[in-house]
Amino acid sequence: MKPTVLQLGPLLPLVREGLAANYTHLDLGALSDAAGFLAEHGPAVDAVVSSGRNGVNAALIDALPKLRLVAHFGVGYDNVDVEYAKKKGVAVSNTPDVLTDCVADLAIALLIDVARGVSAGDRYVRAGAWLKGAMPLATRASGKRLGIVGLGRIGRAIATRAEGFDMEIRYHNRRQSPDAPYAYEHSLEALARWCDFLMVATAGGEATRGLVSKPVIDALGAKGFVVNIARGSVIDETALVAALAEKRIAGAALDVFADEPRVPAALLALDNVVLTPHIASATTDTRRAMGQLVLDNLESFFRDGRAVTPV
């Protein structure tokens, strides 16, 4: 008897095809009456495939009494109630490592963009402004001070890239990483005061909600930049928008936002920001690798009772 796997929302063809070939595959996203479908089919579901856009809360877990695994498409699983899942004996897996390089690449790209005005320069040329005069001078990135909030796998990959730009690196974590080859700042405000670029690379969720607060943003100061490739929830977005509008910080490059895909209108009007639509892992190569890891997690779990990359 094939396990029954429920897809919660849109997934890559690779994943959909893998689910259809190996499991009794149900697709909740394709239905108008999700509640009715869950009432009828929920008791048969052995695993769900979730993603950043389609999470798993306690109510969904309760609607799936036979659920044994949440196979999450993504490294961040802040929209999965892991505590409740584990309380109900439901395992959770995610897709770490395979996306680290792409996320770190975009983090550096965003840093360079906001410092040097790459996107702003593109708009400047397209608007015909160059015909009237040169763009204002920008900010050098090489050799500057990079403060990393969250020196995990992605944070370390960003640091490795930043070393190639001769950047001086410090970091802040909940606790110091003994093997980290960078100076540790016990206080996030102290890190913000020290650095030129504050790189937000920490996990999302309640533990980090609003971590980059107004005092941290104020400590960064008028020559400082924020780059966020983590989660919009980690930054006090209202405080960030105000600081940018009032030029109390120099700029921000944001791939994630508090209420995606909606972005505060005030940000859209600012020229000292770079805005991207949560694309840090969005390359063909990486998304395929993430999709394959979801399938590998399901296969491993149903074969051996353990996922490849459990959280």
Three-class secondary structure of residue 277 per DSSP = coil
Minimum CB separation from ligand 8YV for residue 260, in Å? 9
Out of 109, 258, 280, 295, name the contact with ligand 8YV by CB under 6 A. Answer: 280
Residue 246 annotated in active site: no
Q: Does 79 contact ligand 8YV by CB under 6 A?
A: no
Q: What is the DSSP letter of 30?
A: G
Catalytic residue among 185, 231, 237, 287: 231
- Distances in whole angstroms, Cα of residue 237 to Cα of each of 26, 30, 59, 203, 243: 37, 33, 29, 16, 10
What DSSP line would sit under 205-274, residue for residue?
Answer: SGGGTT-B-HHHHHHH-TT-EEEE-S-GGGB-HHHHHHHHHTTSSSEEEES--TBTTB--HHHHT-SSEE
Q: How far apart are CA 159 and CA 110, in angstroms?
A: 14
Q: Considering beta carbons, is residue 75 or 109 the nearer one to ligand 8YV?
A: 75
The answer to whether residues 182 and 169 touch, using CB atoms and an 8 Å cutoff, is: yes
Residue 186: both structure tokens together: 């016990």
Could you say which residues in the range 90-119 bind ligand 8YV, by CB under 6 A?
99
Q: Which of 48, 49, 71, 75 binds ligand 8YV (CB under 6 A)?
A: 75
Where would I find the H helices in 52-169? Answer: 58-62, 82-87, 100-116, 118-126, 153-163
Residue closer to ligand 8YV, measured from CB, 110 or 250: 110
- Please report whether residue 47 would count as binding ligand 8YV according to CB under 6 A: no
Tell whether residue 281 is a contact of ligand 8YV (CB under 6 A).
yes
Judged by CB under 6 A, does residue 51 bind ligand 8YV?
yes
Q: Which of 116, 260, 288, 299 is catalytic?
A: 260
Stretch that binds ligand 8YV, among 6-14, 106-114, 274-282, 301-309 (CB under 6 A): 274-282
**Counting contacts by CB under 6 A, is residue 15 touching ligand 8YV?**
no
Contact present, 113 and 89 (Cβ < 8 Å): no
Give the residue with the Cβ less far from ligand 8YV, 74 or 224: 74
Min dist. Cβ of residue 73 to ligand 8YV (A): 5
Known active-site residue 278? yes
**What residues make contact with ligand 8YV under the rule CB under 6 A?**
51-52, 73-76, 99, 278, 280-281
